[in-house]
Amino acid sequence: MINLKINGQDVQVPEGTTVLKAAEQTGVTIPTLCEHADLHPYGGCRMCVVDVKGWRTPMASCTMPVNEGMEVETHSPAIEKSRKTILELFMSNYHDSNYENGQKEETQFIRWVKHYGLDPQASMAPIPRQQVNSDANPFVWVDLNKCIQCTRCVRACAEVQGRFVWSMAERGFDTHPVAGADTDMLDARCESCGACVAYCPTGALDNKMSMGAGKPDKLVRTTCTYCGVGCQFDFNVKDGKIIRVTSTEEAPVNGNHLCVKGRYGYDFVQHPDRLSKPKVRRYLLEGGEKSHHTSAWDWVETEWDTALDVAAKKLHSTRMEHGADKIGVLTSAKCLNEENYLMNKFARQVIGTNNIDHCARL
């Protein structure tokens, strides 16, 4: 264990802990931007600088390991002034063409900007330097006018998704992320998982489907129905409609990670084509005699009891006339394990066939 002082308070943490994490353990919040607990430290934005007794210059606490006897000051007037200056410098190169104070979720960056007393509208660059919506990806909105070169997108794509789509190009004032060899994201092997969006602290990368949707009224934590992994995320709901999905580090299985279906495949929930009540062919409701009239084959909305009765009778008559092996059962990856187990019992023990399969094998 290493002993040090943070803001005069004695702290003991395991060797290898960063000053930032040691401060967190004592309840001190040091502002950060390029740092994220899921990603390797980068030490690029300098928001997390602290004074360390005996060191000539402020040090980045997110990359600095603790040392025995260290004395750290996290919020001295000089340090706070330097954080404000860093934010002013970022804002001089930042432009949000759609900035509407309070109309949308505030990013981590804008929260710090306001925290340090800056007016985002007044302090941002007057004109954009880059094309807004500069990538054809159908899910990821790219507006590098809001980029602060924190490289969280680069690290998220490499370390969380394993695709290595983003890297940083050019130097100095012109430094910016590029996909592949400065091409479109999809050409650079992007899988549209949205991890880079989830980790971007400024909204330079955003969810295209949710642009202009505003703030949610509530978040609803749920479990994805697409496959059996059991990823959790929050539906952002506004006026009873899902406006976006946000991942959460509290999700026990997946943390902030999601695949393209979980993050962006939610429009089926409120799609007008989605069946919300059972439908039965008209002729089955009218006695079951097949007819050549096309109207007899129309789908008719009905109640669950009626639909289940029709299905049960049809399964029964097929089994009696042709045998159980003329029936096959297909279940779904969207069902719970328990529901799939019951379908297995239903096929083998109630109907009497081994013809059962699952859509995840398709």
Q: Footprint of ligand FES on this chain (CB under 6 A)?
A: 32-35, 43-48, 60, 62
Which amino acid is located at 78 in the chain? A
Question: Which CB, 30 or 343, lies closer to ligand FES?
Answer: 30
Nearest to 107 by CA among 29, 23, 30, 215: 215
Q: How far is the CB of 102 from ligand FES (least distance, A)?
A: 26
Q: What is the largest CA-CA distance in the chain?
A: 93
161 is an interface residue for ligand SF4 by CB under 6 A: yes
Q: Specify the residue for token string 């006018």.
A: 145
Query: By rule CB under 6 A, what string of x and - marks binding of each residue 100-139 to ligand SF4?
Result: ----------------------------------------
What's the closest the beta carbon of residue 258 comes to ligand SF4, in angstroms?
Answer: 10
What would the two tokens of residue 99 be?
A: 């900035």
**Closest distance to ligand FES from the beta carbon of 42 (Å):** 7
Q: Provide the minimum distance between the beta carbon of 224 and ligand SF4 in the complex, in angstroms, as a whole number.
A: 16
For residues 52 and 199, which CB has a smaller minimum distance to ligand SF4 in the complex?
Answer: 199
Beta strand 9-13 pairing with 2-6: antiparallel
Task: State the sign of the Cα–Cα–Cα–Cα dihedral 239, 240, 241, 245.
Answer: positive
Binding-site size, ligand SF4 (CB under 6 A): 27
Q: In angstroms, how far is the first alpha carbon of the chain from the final one? A: 54
Token pair, residue 215, equals 């703030």
Residue 32 touches which of ligand FES, ligand SF4, none (CB < 5 to 8 A by kind)?
Answer: ligand FES
Rank residues 205 and 284 by Cβ distance to ligand SF4 and give the closer one: 205
Interface with ligand SF4 in residues 196-215 (CB under 6 A): 196, 200, 202, 204-205
The nearer residue to ligand FES, 38 or 309, going by C-beta atoms, is 38
- Does residue 147 interact with ligand SF4 by CB under 6 A? yes
DSSP-assigned states of every residue in 92-142: HT---TT--TTTSPPPHHHHHHHHTT--HHHHS-SS-SS-SS----SSEEE
The three-class DSSP label of residue 318 is helix
| Helical pair 108-115 and 77-92, crossing angle rounded to 10 deg | 130
Helices and strands of the chain, counted as H and E runs: 10, 16
- Name the one range near ligand SF4 by CB under 6 A: 48-56, 145-153, 288-296, 304-312: 145-153
For the CB of residue 62, give the shortest distance to ligand FES in the complex, in Å: 3
Contacted by 58, from ligand SF4, ligand FES, none: CB < 5 to 8 Å by type: none
Q: Which partner from the list ligand SF4, ligand FES, none does 356 bind, CB cut-off 5 to 8 Å by kind?
A: none
* 71: phi then psi, degrees, rounded to nearest 5: -125, 115
Separation of alpha carbons 233 and 258, rounded Å: 8
- Coil, helix or strand at residue 89: helix
The torsion defined by the Cα of 118, 122, 128 and 129, in degrees rounded to 10, comes to -60
Q: Which amino acid is at 302?
A: T
Rounded Cα gap, residues 344 and 89, in angstroms: 63
Residue 159 found at the interface with ligand SF4 (CB under 6 A): no
Q: Return the one option of ligand SF4, ligand FES, none that residue 161 interacts with (CB less than 5 to 8 A, by type).
A: ligand SF4
Is residue 184 near ligand SF4 by the rule CB under 6 A?
no
Which residues are CB-contacts of 42 (< 8 A; sequence separation ≥ 6)? 34, 35, 62, 63, 150, 151, 152, 155
The structure tokens listed for 299 are 């789908």
Q: Among ligand SF4, ligand FES, none, what does residue 195 contact (CB within 5–8 Å per kind)? A: ligand SF4
Binding-site partner at residue 140 among ligand FES, ligand SF4, none, CB < 5 to 8 Å by type: ligand SF4
Under the criterion CB under 6 A, does residue 149 sit at the interface with ligand SF4?
yes
37 vs 312, which CB is nearer to ligand FES?
Answer: 37
Give 70 or 148: the residue with its C-beta nearer to ligand SF4: 148
Judged by the rule CB under 6 A, the positions of this chain that interact with ligand SF4 are 140, 147-153, 156-157, 161, 163, 165-166, 177, 185, 190-196, 200, 202, 204-205
